[in-house]
Amino acid sequence: MTETSALDGMPLIVVLCGSTEFMDEFAEINLRQTAMGRIVLSVGCNLKQPHPLWADPADAAALKPKLDRLHRAKIRLADRVIVVGIRIGASTRAEIHYARALGKPVDYLHPEVAV
């Protein structure tokens, strides 16, 4: 049986949540979920890595809330959430609570960190 999304006829949509310090793990789970035939939504910017778009601290400060809103939109689109990483920080915890409030199933790659 093929998994399908709440969006009519679409493959299951998953969103990856977690700290960008685990970007290698994000890449691996993205690859695995894609190979399973799922649409994967993930972080698009890693503010912990230098880049001209957020080199100025004021630019980084202005970008962070925009990225948070964008990730919440990805959570709304997704059928389920996958939490990446062995540590859950405040931002990830807030995303998990948001997803649960929307009734989204939340899976943990590392169940020992489940909140």
The pLDDT tens digits along the chain (115 residues) read 568 777 778 999 999 999 999 999 999 999 999 999 999 999 999 888 999 999 999 999 999 999 999 999 999 999 999 999 999 999 999 999 999 999 999 999 998 888 7
* Cβ-contact 75, 18 below 8 angstroms: no
Residue 2: the pLDDT is 64
Residue in the block written with tokens 């989204």? 104
Residue 101: the pLDDT is 98
Residue 6: the pLDDT is 72
Label each residue of 9-26 as H, E or C: CCECEEEEECCHHHHHHH
Q: At the top level of CATH, which class does the domain 13-113 belong to?
A: alpha beta
Domain ranges of the chain: 13-113
pTM of the model: 0.90
